[in-house]
Amino acid sequence: MKSFTVIVADGSFPVHEIPLGYLEKASKIVCCDGSAESLIKAGFEPDAIVGDMDSLSAELAGKYKDKIFRDSGQDTNDLTKAVTWCTKKNYTDLVIVGATGKREDHTLGNISLLTEYAKDVNIIMVTDTGIFRPLCESAVITSFPGQQVSIFAIDPGTEVTSVGLRYPLKKTKLNNWWVATLNEATGENFRLEFIGGRVIIYLKFADTSVK
């Protein structure tokens, strides 16, 4: 991504150098409601704050009133509201940080939403240990020898074939989340082939030490 927008969700604020690096290089930073407080404490400034504002302090609401875009709808979460707002602004290269931690149900929901967002934008989710990337069709993924890789199917029964993984998949049906986890890349890239389903891949950083 040459120019990208970072969306900061209201989970655990990142501490690893890679997600923080995305924040430092972002062309725009969009906060989900109360995540603005953590962002500002970390020394960054939001370009927009999107959500129902149920967790934004009155102090920040006043200070950043010109950057607040309220969406009180209850059919979607604040992350989806932020992605939708970015899409309407034609910010179509998106990086999500802060979407994991705090509550496991929020974490699972946020990760699963990636394939919904991928219909309209180029998007990844960056955590303190790795990157989640949604795939709606077969693709070649840049990697490195020994990189830990896990694959999750959003649509149960999706058949996946791999080239370049230590434990090959051969039209393997992903009927449960564990089926294609804990694999490993053998080279500089690997290929996943599948038809009619959607998958999310997790790519672990080479060094997950937290600074």
Parallel, antiparallel, or unpaired: how do β-strands 130-135 and 122-126 relate? Answer: antiparallel
- What length does the chain have? 211
Assigned CATH topology for domain 135-204: Jelly Rolls (2.60.120)
For domain 5-128, the CATH class is alpha beta
Burial class (CB in 10 A: 0-12, 13-18, 19+), 126: buried
For the stretch 18-63, pLDDT in tens is 999 999 999 999 999 889 999 999 999 999 999 887 778 888 888 8
List Cβ<8 Å contacts ≥24 apart for 43-47. 46/8
Residue-wise pLDDT tens digits, 136-160: 999 999 999 999 999 999 998 899 9
pTM beyond 0.85, yes or no: yes
Q: Whose structure tokens read 């058949």? A: 159
Contact partners, residue 104, CB within 8 Å, separation at least 6: none
Q: What is the pLDDT of residues 176-208, one digit of tens each?
A: 999 999 999 999 999 999 987 899 999 999 974
Question: How do the domains of the chain map onto residue ranges?
Answer: 5-128, 135-204
